[in-house]
Structure formats: structure tokens, C-alpha cells
């Protein structure tokens, strides 16, 4: 793993990010340098909202479950925010209007969450979704679907479109290239098996408001947005939770025996 000096620098950088956007459920990871999503693209994409304001993205993984990042709905470590304060907007590319605004019944935060690892959570909807062209489930990647270094993934979100700009009101999307665990380790000290690191061109990538959103490969969900290093669109890779690593935990909740 990285040297002590690099680790200390990484912790300082990530702490600074979290103080402003990721440690508390405030607007976090817009796709800068991206493009506006077409009408029926990303039917699995939802806006996760706290006290009516967009804080994160999320993906529909079952008729009554949304997968997002834990820090989006965490009060303190594995203790969730008040469930009555969380809603999701489904079926709309506009984070402010359209589709349906639905309440959450229960929040499941991964039991090992507490740092910048295991940053995944499931939101159970109070009622099952009505599926259609604008609202649909995305399949989880399984081991045969593992995305390899060099493969391109699609990312999406309502986060900032510029490093100093405001959050997007229309859903944005872009492409990013997966890098190896060793390259991620060498770059930011984050070569963990639970992590999927993606590299963008300068001035492009995830930004504040995009956390919890998807990374998709061949129409399967492979990553959940966690955090960026420093400012958005830098030379450093963006960090996603690797879905195949968490598939057993996800399925234990959404598909109980």
C-alpha cells in the first residue's frame, strides 16, 4: 500500500472533501464536461433527496429498493438520518420536477461503513414502483460481468457541471475509463478490492451532487459514486464502490430467503 506520507496526504485531501460535501448529506459528487441525458435514457436513475433537496443520485435495483452511497443518508457512521426526511424522485430527468416524489420506509447502511470504504446503502421504498419506459430496474453486475481496466463505463448525475458552478437540473452523463487497482493505489492510495477507480480527461468527471450515482458497463451496474480527490475534473481518478464486491450484501436485503 502507499507510504505513510502519501496516506496522510490522502486522508487530508479526502477529509477536506468530506467536510464540504461527503461526510454529511449535502450536495456532493454534477458530471462536469458531460452531456444532457435523452428523454428515456437512464430509467433506473433517481434523485435522492434530504428535506426535499437533492443530495445524491441512486439506482433502482429492485421494485422497492434504491442503491446509493452510505454517506448520502448517514447521520453518524452506520446510524441513518431520519427516514421521514428522505425521499426519491423517480421517472424524471429534471431533479426539480416531473416523475414521482416517493417516501422511504427504511434505510440500510452497510454494517462496515464508517470510513471511506463500504460506502453503500439501500433505501427501501414504502411502495413498489410501477415500471415502464421512464422507471425501470438496472441489473447488478455479477462476477462474469467484471469490468476490466481500460473498459469505458457510463456515469450519470445531477451534480455540478463546472467546478465552481451550480448543480444541474437536467440529468447529465459522461464516459470514464476504469483503471487497475495498482494504478489507483499508485495515484491516490486507494487500490482496495471493494473500490472501482475511473479516470476522466481533465475537466471531466463526477462532481458535487453525483455521489451515489451509477457507473454502468454493458447495461449492468458496476459502481456506486463515492468521492473525488480535490477539485472535480482533476488528473486524479474518481472513486466508486465496486458492485460485484457488494452483490452478496445487496441481494441479502433485496432478495431475502
User: Residue 203 belongs to a domain with what CATH number?
Assistant: 2.40.10.10
* Residue 152 burial (10 A CB sphere; 0-12, 13-18, 19+): exposed
Q: What is the pLDDT of residue 67?
A: 98
Does some domain include residue 74? yes
**Which pTM does this prediction carry?**
0.85
Q: Report how many domains make up the chain.
A: 2
Side-chain half-sphere exposure of 103, counting CA atoms within 13 A = 7
Positions in the chain short of pLDDT 70? 1-35, 38-39, 160-167, 257
94 and 152 part of one domain: no
Alpha-helix residue ranges (DSSP H) falling in the chain: 4-17, 181-188, 243-254
105 and 171 part of one domain: no
Q: How far apart are CA 19 and CA 125, in angstroms?
A: 29
Domain that holds residue 68: 45-137+247-254
132 and 186 part of one domain: no
Does some domain include residue 4? no
Q: What is the pLDDT of residue 27?
A: 35
Does some domain include residue 126? yes
Q: How far apart are CA 196 and CA 225, in angstroms?
A: 9
Does some domain include residue 20? no
* Residues forming beta bridges with residue 32, ordered by sequence position: 205
132 and 145 part of one domain: no
148 and 126 part of one domain: no
Q: What is the pLDDT of residue 3?
A: 40
189 and 107 part of one domain: no
71 and 112 part of one domain: yes
Does some domain include residue 102? yes
Place of cell 472513486: 239
Q: What is the pLDDT of residue 41?
A: 87
Q: How far apart are CA 173 and CA 223, in angstroms?
A: 14
Does some domain include residue 165? yes
Q: Where are the beta strands (DSSP E) in the chain?
A: 35-36, 45-50, 53-62, 65-68, 74-76, 79-80, 86-90, 100-109, 121-125, 139-140, 152-157, 172-178, 195-199, 214-217, 220-227, 238-242
110 and 158 part of one domain: no
Phi, psi of 143 (to 5 degrees): -55, -40
Place of cell 459502481: 223
Does some domain include residue 21? no
Residues 6 or more apart whose Cβ sits within 8 Å of residue 245: 193, 194
Q: What is the pLDDT of residue 5?
A: 36
114 and 144 part of one domain: no
Does some domain include residue 173? yes
Q: What is the pLDDT of residue 228?
A: 87
168 and 210 part of one domain: yes
146 and 130 part of one domain: no
Amino acid at each position: 500500500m502507499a507510504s505513510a506520507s502519501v496516506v496522510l496526504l490522502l486522508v487530508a485531501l479526502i477529509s477536506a472533501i468530506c467536510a464540504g460535501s461527503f461526510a454529511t448529506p449535502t450536495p456532493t459528487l454534477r458530471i462536469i464536461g458531460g452531456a444532457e441525458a435523452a428523454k428515456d435514457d437512464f430509467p433506473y436513475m433517481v434523485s435522492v433527496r434530504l428535506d426535499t433537496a437533492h443530495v445524491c443520485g441512486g439506482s433502482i435495483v429492485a421494485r422497492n429498493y434504491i442503491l446509493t452511497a452510505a454517506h448520502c443518508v448517514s447521520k453518524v457512521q452506520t446510524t441513518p438520518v431520519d427516514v421521514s426526511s428522505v425521499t426519491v424522485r423517480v421517472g424524471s430527468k429534471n431533479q426539480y420536477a416531473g416523475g414521482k416524489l416517493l417516501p422511504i420506509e427504511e434505510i440500510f447502511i452497510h454494517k462496515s461503513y464508517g470510513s471511506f470504504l463500504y460506502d453503500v446503502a439501500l433505501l427501501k421504498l414504502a411502495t413498489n414502483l410501477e415500471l415502464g419506459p421512464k422507471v425501470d430496474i438496472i441489473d447488478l453486475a455479477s462476477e462474469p460481468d467484471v469490468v476490466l481496466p481500460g473498459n469505458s463505463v457510463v456515469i450519470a448525475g445531477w451534480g455540478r457541471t463546472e467546478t465552481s458552478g451550480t448543480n444541474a437540473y437536467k440529468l447529465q452523463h459522461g464516459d470514464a475509463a476504469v483503471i487497475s487497482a495498482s494504478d489507483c493505489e499508485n495515484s491516490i492510495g486507494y487500490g482496495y478490492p471493494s473500490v472501482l477507480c475511473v479516470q476522466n480527461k481533465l475537466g471531466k468527471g463526477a462532481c458535487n451532487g453525483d455521489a451515489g450515482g451509477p457507473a454502468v458497463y454493458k447495461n449492468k451496474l458496476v459502481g456506486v459514486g463515492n468521492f473525488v480527490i480535490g477539485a472535480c475534473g482533476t488528473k486524479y481518478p474518481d472513486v466508486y464502490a465496486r458492485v460485484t464486491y457488494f452483490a452478496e450484501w445487496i441481494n441479502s436485503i433485496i432478495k431475502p430467503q
